[in-house]
Amino acid sequence: MSPLIQNIVLKKSKAEKIVMLTAYDYAMAAILDRSGVDIILVGDSLANVVLGLATTKEVGMDAMFSHARAVRAAVKNALVVVDMPFVSVQPDSSRALFHAKRFTEEAGCDAVKVEWFDKCPDVVRSLLAAGVPVMGHVGLTPQTAEKLGGVKVQGKAPDEAQKIIEQAKALADAGCFSVVIECVPEDLGRKITQELKVPTIGIGAGKHCDGQVLVLYDMLGLTSGKVPKFVKKYAEVSTLMTTAVQAYAREVRQGQFPDESQSFHS
């Protein structure tokens, strides 16, 4: 276990909350790293917020690899984790190791994240046996949301809640160093956190998880349209950017930019 991962794992016993955010490019990742974020996730939410795709299931390995490498180049301190996209693991899990190795050995990521599916514990064990650290993901799993009745809160019914608990335990037992819990009732998030020895990181799973993660574009107010209930907007960067671009356009059209201070002279 690398020192960075060991540090994340120890935070649970120290009752220190884990801070995790997504990033998809060099500039944003550098800001997060300077800001003291513990984990930077190159999320497959790239599909929605960067590429304009309808679902995370549609993003491929080439896009994820390219963005993972850009994030890795910027980060000096945080743990860099990358989502294994749907095409890299679920249709043919025998290829999971090949793709995971690309992320860790070629892109330089510290770990990969795998969403729950039927063969998930076996995949986790095979990756760990080859030296690839793994973060798990249970609850709402966006890559297979259609099998869960759509993008909605999971685990409300007792039998559904028990199934998610068992999945989280299976991932921890298989060797995941942490488990993301997405979009479940707060009590379920607390129960899973209490029962797992490894840290839990919540996204819409309540305050009792060992850490929290949000999509960066959501919390900065860059996402167009409706955002999930569990998102808190810490800024309205979209408004700031719109104002700046409109000012630039106005000055160009009026001949005010560039002025003497932005011009060269012989």
Tell me which residues are annotated as active site: 182
Is residue 75 a contact partner of residue 24, using CB atoms and an 8 Å limit?
no
DSSP characters over 15-34: TPPEEEEE--SHHHHHHHHH
CA distance 61 to 157: 35
How many CA within 13 A on the CB side of residue 154?
Answer: 28
CA distance 36 to 78: 7
Is residue 189 a contact partner of residue 138, using CB atoms and an 8 Å limit?
no
Look at the alpha carbons of 98, 10, 36, 230 in this order and tell me if their dihedral is positive or negative: positive
Give kind and range of the element (H or E) at residue 66. helix 61-74
Is residue 198 a contact partner of residue 12, using CB atoms and an 8 Å limit?
yes
